[in-house]
A and B are shown apart, each in its own frame.
Chain A
Amino acid sequence: MIEVRNLWKIYRTYEKEEGLIGSLKALFKRKYRDVEALKGVSFTIEEGEFVGYIGPNGAGKTTTLKILSGILYPTKGEAKVLGFIPWERKAEFLKQISFVMGQKHQLWWDLPALESFLLNKEIYEIPSHLFYANLEELSSLLAVEDLLKVPVRNLSLGERMKMELIASLLHSPRVLFLDEPTIGLDVVAQKEIRDFLKRFNKEHKTTIMLTSHYVRDIEALCERVLVLHRGEIIFEGSIKELTRRYSDDKLLTITFEERVPDEIESYGRLLSRDEGKATLRVGRDKVADVARALLESYSVKDIVVEEIPIEDVIREIFLSLGREEDGEI
Chain B
Amino acid sequence: MRYFRLWKVFLTNCLIREMGFRANFILGILGNLLSFSINILFFGIIYLNVQSIGGWDVYRTLILVSTCQIINLLYSALFGGIANLTDYVKGGSLDFILLKPLDPQLLISLRYVNLQSFLSLAFPCATIVYVAHLGKIAISFSNLLLYIFLLLCGLLLRYALGFIIMASSLWVVRIDALYALYNYIASLAQYPMSIYKGGVRILFTFVIPIIVIANFPALSLKVSYRQGLSFYPSSSPSFSFPFPAIYFFSVFATIQVPVAENLFETIANTKRRGLC
Residues of A bordering B, CB below 8 Å: 9-12, 14, 23, 27, 37, 66, 69-73, 75, 87, 89, 91-95, 97-99, 101, 104, 106, 108, 110-112, 115-116, 118-119, 121-125, 151
B272 x A73 contact (CB < 8 A):
yes
Is B22 interfacial (CB-CB < 8 Å)? Answer: no
B274 x A10 contact (CB < 8 A):
yes
Q: Which of B11-19, B35-43, B78-86, B215-223 faces chain A?
A: B11-19
Is B96 interfacial (CB-CB < 8 Å)? Answer: yes
A91 x B95 contact (CB < 8 A):
no
A26 to chain B, nearest CB (A): 9
B95 x A66 contact (CB < 8 A):
yes
Residues of B bordering A, CB below 8 Å: 2, 5-6, 9-10, 12-13, 16-17, 20, 92-93, 95-96, 98-102, 107, 171-172, 174, 269, 272-276
B101 x A94 contact (CB < 8 A):
yes
B172 x A23 contact (CB < 8 A):
yes
Distance of A27 Cα from B269 Cα, bound (Å): 19
Residue among B9, B10, B20 with max Cβ neighbours from chain A (10 Å): B9
A119 x B13 contact (CB < 8 A):
yes
Sampled A-B contacts (28; CB under 8 Å): A11-B274, A12-B274, A12-B275, A12-B276, A23-B174, A37-B274, A66-B95, A71-B98, A73-B272, A73-B273, A73-B274, A91-B101, A91-B102, A95-B101, A99-B99, A101-B95, A104-B96, A110-B20, A111-B17, A115-B9, A115-B16, A118-B9, A122-B2, A122-B5, A123-B101, A123-B102, A124-B100, A124-B101
B8 to chain A, nearest CB (A): 8
Chain B residues whose CB sits within 8 angstroms of the CB of A101 once the complex forms: 92, 95
- Given the interface pairs A9-B274, A71-B272, the reply to whether A115 lies near B13 with Cβ below 8 Å is yes
A71 x B276 contact (CB < 8 A):
no
Q: Which residue of B lies closest to A63 (CB)?
A: B274
Chain B residues whose CB sits within 8 angstroms of the CB of A23 once the complex forms: 172, 174
B99 x A94 contact (CB < 8 A):
yes
Pick the contact of A70: B12, B99, B107 (CB < 8 A): B99
Chain A residues whose CB sits within 8 angstroms of the CB of B17 once the complex forms: 108, 110-111
- Given the interface pairs A71-B272, A87-B272, A104-B92, the reply to whether A123 lies near B100 with Cβ below 8 Å is yes
A71 x B99 contact (CB < 8 A):
yes
Q: A23-B172, A27-B171 are in contact. List 7 more A-B contacts (CB 8 A).
A: A9-B274, A75-B274, A87-B272, A95-B101, A98-B99, A115-B16, A123-B6
- Given the interface pairs A27-B172, A94-B99, A123-B101, the reply to whether A72 lies near B20 with Cβ below 8 Å is no
Chain B residues whose CB sits within 8 angstroms of the CB of A87 once the complex forms: 272
Distance of A122 Cα from B275 Cα, bound (Å): 33
Q: Which residue of B lies closest to A87 (CB)?
A: B272
Distance of A14 Cα from B274 Cα, bound (Å): 11
Distance of A14 Cα from B271 Cα, bound (Å): 13
Chain A residues whose CB sits within 8 angstroms of the CB of B95 once the complex forms: 66, 71, 99, 101, 104
B1 to chain A, nearest CB (A): 11
